């Protein structure tokens, strides 16, 4: 059910996410400690290529990583197999990707 | 009722269609094994009780059963070490039951072959015998994995096998790892291709049920971790 391609994709996306999660938490704590308002945060993120790349990469990695995890759970716990397994895991990944990219777009598009 | 002179035992009997435990009281003896108990029941009370055994000394791997919820080699498991309360003996988990305590081992050995468990020689009988340095890394890794007796205890203990019928399981992948570390073997590419495939090593969750229950104290999880590294390297290098 998991072959070497999916295994590698899950491990590589975990590697990508690790520093991004730390960066996300650090920024979150900084923003709260500094008492930034929503408008002040948006003024920093809107039009920023750096934040678009930061959270865009985060969303892409999370969508791939979680979809592979869901694939294992669906197969082993729920007994989903064959085409249905591909539909469930791919569908979950696309759902996360669309929702995540919409959220990124909402904060980085001017 | 058990006393110092007797043992209460429940033995599962049935077939693929279902079954249930039946209770017996068996005379206690010194150094009595679980296999001794099953044999006493078969010889004295239940002549059609079906079970497997051969060597009785932990060499052949045929007498594995589920004893008080754990897969054990019954010929080397003393009743005194089998746990508290009445003995409960059942067939191994994760394999189809043929009758009573006998499982159908076909899928176990089919997967063993599917994972690349058959040695592929790199030389003929006319070639000189290769010298194997006992201190080399590959030989040390192979030595850690080669004492498998194919009792299927690890296969029965593995939750990944229980949830994933395509998964080769610990014994087959442990065998594959021992051959990958055999410098005489010519089948490494096929073996790594199988290990990297859908039934292969990447389905292992490293829960180590195999290592906890292996009667020969092998660590198939370690072998599978080795296979994961080797398969990833081979994939990155484009060898598989």
Nearest CA to B226 among B135, B145, B159, B165?
A: B145
ipTM of the complex: 0.82
Is the torsion defined by CA of B119, B124, B127, B128 positive or negative?
positive
B203 touches chain A (CB under 8 A): yes
Interacting residues of B132 by C-beta distance below 8 A, sequence separation 6+: B139, B183, B184
Q: How far apart are the first and last CA of chain A?
A: 43
Nearest to B170 by CA among B154, B157, B186: B154
Contact B11, B41 (CB under 8 A): yes
pLDDT of residue B74: 98
Task: Please check whether residues B129 and B190 belong to one and the same domain.
Answer: yes
- Asked if B196's CB is within 8 angstroms of A1's CB, the reply is no
Examine the domain organization and report whether B114 and B223 are in the same domain: yes
Per-residue pLDDT reduced to its tens digit, B109-142: 999 999 999 999 999 999 998 889 999 999 999 9
Q: From the list A1, A4, A75, which residue is nearest B232 (CB)?
A: A4
What is the number of structural domains in chain B?
2
- Pick the more confident residue, A82 or B83: A82
Low-confidence ranges of chain B (pLDDT < 50): none
Give the pLDDT of residue B4.
75
Interface test with B, best of A4, A9, A85 (most B CBs within 10 A): A4
Q: Which domain holds residue A88?
A: 4-108
The one-character DSSP state at B98 is E
Residues B77 and B166 in one domain: no
pLDDT score of B1: 52
Structure tokens at B154: 């690890």
pLDDT at B189: 95
Domain interval for residue B118: 106-236
Kindly report, residue by residue over A2-33, the tens digit of the pLDDT. 899 999 999 999 999 999 999 999 998 988 88
CB-nearest partner of A3 from B160, B164, B200: B200
Structure tokens at B129: 């015998």
């Amino acid at each position: 059910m998991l072959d070497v391609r999916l295994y590698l994709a899950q491990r590589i996306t975990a590697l990508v996410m690790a520093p991004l999660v730390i960066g996300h938490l650090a920024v979150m704590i900084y923003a709260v400690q500094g008492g930034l308002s929503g408008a002040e945060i948006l003024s920093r993120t809107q039009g920023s290529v750096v934040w678009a790349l930061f959270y865009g990469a985060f969303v892409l990695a999370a969508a791939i990583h979680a979809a592979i995890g869901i694939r294992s759970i669906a197969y082993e716990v729920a007994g989903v197999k064959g085409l249905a397994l591909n539909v469930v895991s791919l569908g979950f990944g696309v759902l996360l990707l669309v929702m995540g990219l919409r959220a990124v777009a909402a904060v980085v598009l001017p | 009722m058990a006393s110092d002179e007797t043992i209460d035992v429940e033995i599962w009997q049935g077939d693929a269609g279902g079954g249930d435990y039946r209770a017996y009281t068996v005379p206690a003896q010194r150094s009595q094994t679980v296999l001794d108990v099953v044999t006493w029941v078969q010889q004295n009370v239940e002549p059609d009780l079906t079970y497997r055994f051969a060597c009785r000394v932990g060499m052949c791997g045929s007498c594995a059963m589920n004893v008080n919820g754990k897969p054990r080699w019954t010929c080397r498991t003393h009743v005194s070490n089998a746990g508290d309360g009445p003995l409960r003996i059942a067939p191994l988990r994760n394999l189809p039951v043929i009758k009573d305590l006998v499982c159908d081992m076909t899928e176990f050995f089919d997967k063993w072959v599917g994972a690349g468990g058959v040695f592929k020689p790199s030389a003929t009988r006319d070639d000189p015998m290769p010298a194997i340095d006992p201190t080399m890394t590959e030989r040390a890794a192979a030595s850690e994995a080669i004492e498998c007796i194919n009792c299927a205890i690890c296969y029965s203990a593995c939750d990944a096998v229980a949830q994933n019928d395509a998964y080769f399981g610990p014994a087959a992948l442990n065998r594959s790892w021992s051959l990958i570390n055999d410098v005489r073997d010519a089948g490494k590419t096929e073996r790594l291709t199988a290990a990297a495939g859908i039934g292969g090593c990447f389905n292992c969750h490293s829960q180590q049920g195999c290592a906890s229950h292996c009667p020969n104290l092998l660590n198939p999880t370690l072998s599978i971790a080795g296979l994961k590294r080797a398969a990833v390297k081979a994939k990155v290098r484009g060898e598989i």
